[in-house]
Amino acid sequence: MAGTKLFPTQSTHSLSFRHFFALAPPRAVSYPTRVRLDCAKLTRLRVLAMAAKRSPKRLKYSAPRVSKIDDLVYVEVDPSGTENWKLEPVIELLNQGAVGVIPTDTVYAIVCHLKSHSAIERLRRIKNIEPSKPLSILCRSLRDIDTYTTGFPRGDGQGHANIFRAVKHCLPGPYTFILTASKELPKQCVRYGTTTAKYSARKNVGVRMPDDAICQAILEKMDAPLISTSVKWPKENEWMIDPVVIADIYGAEV
């Protein structure tokens, strides 16, 4: 079974993440390498997804396999994708402007709605990401990639390669492609410092279509792609792959 966790604010209670995910074993993964794209494959018996939104509104869920501790909601989900209906609380919170942690086909990612300015700023604060650093996009389809970037070259019959045709065979998959952002992408996602220039060069952004059943199920129900950044140790440049540890460290922040 996989654990899916989401919460409108912060929470602590008698049922801890360590207890809830006690059966989650450590896993070995191959990590992404950058050649203008990231590669890796993550297997797991349990996965964690969590989302939080700072709001006085109290959300109530009574569906089976959903546990709510104060403002923290846990959802157990089979990683094969057979129980994706249990992800509805996660999807609802993310669509409302939550910041959360969900699995991908590489490592866990901190995510938020692409069009929620407050959520993007909160994500940056959680990871201590400077405004000069761009964020990546988890896309639902190739159409999203064409909408929020200038897309992949289609070739012109004059010797220029049709990159789009090659990429279609790679997606969904554990790759991050660096493309030029379009005007549809919010400036917060690609803001490289401040500029007063009326016309400035378009910025690059990383785009992904993860091959992960839970991640795909969440993206399919979103009304826009998700902004994402990988989950790492706060003071170390290493990925975090244990959902118990992720919950302990980021649970109060997300």
What are the DSSP E strand ranges found in 62-172? 66-69, 72-77, 99-102, 109-113, 136-138
Q: Could you tell me how many residues make up the chain?
A: 254
Give the confidence band of 234 by pLDDT, cuts at 50, 70, 90: confident
Average pLDDT, stretch 8-19?
A: 32
Give the confidence band of 73 by pLDDT, cuts at 50, 70, 90: low
- Structural domain range at position 34: 2-250
pTM of the model: 0.70
Are 214 and 81 within 8 A, CB to CB? yes
Q: How much is the pLDDT for 60?
A: 37
Cα(220)–Cα(228) distance, integer angstroms: 16
Q: Give the other-Cβ count within 10 Å of 215's Cβ.
A: 26
pLDDT single digits (tens) 182-197: 999 988 887 644 444 4
pLDDT single digits (tens) 196-220: 444 455 689 999 999 999 999 999 9
Average pLDDT, stretch 122-131?
A: 87
Average pLDDT, stretch 150-158?
A: 84
Reading the block at residue 135, the tokens are 């964020």
Name the least confident of 18-27, 56-65, 170-179. Answer: 18-27
- Which strands, in side-by-side order, build the sheet including 99-102? 50-52, 99-102, 109-113, 226-230, 136-138, 204-209, 173-180
Average pLDDT, stretch 108-137?
A: 90
CB contact set of 223 (below 8 Å; sequence gap of 6+) = 95
Look at the chain and report how many structural domains it folds into.
Answer: 1
CB contact set of 13 (below 8 Å; sequence gap of 6+) = 69, 70, 72
Provide the CATH number for the domain around residue 152: 3.90.870.10
Whether 47 shows a pLDDT value over 60: the answer reads no
The H-assigned helical ranges of the chain are 17-20, 88-95, 117-127, 142-148, 163-168, 213-221, 243-250
Higher pLDDT among residues 52 and 5, named by residue: 52
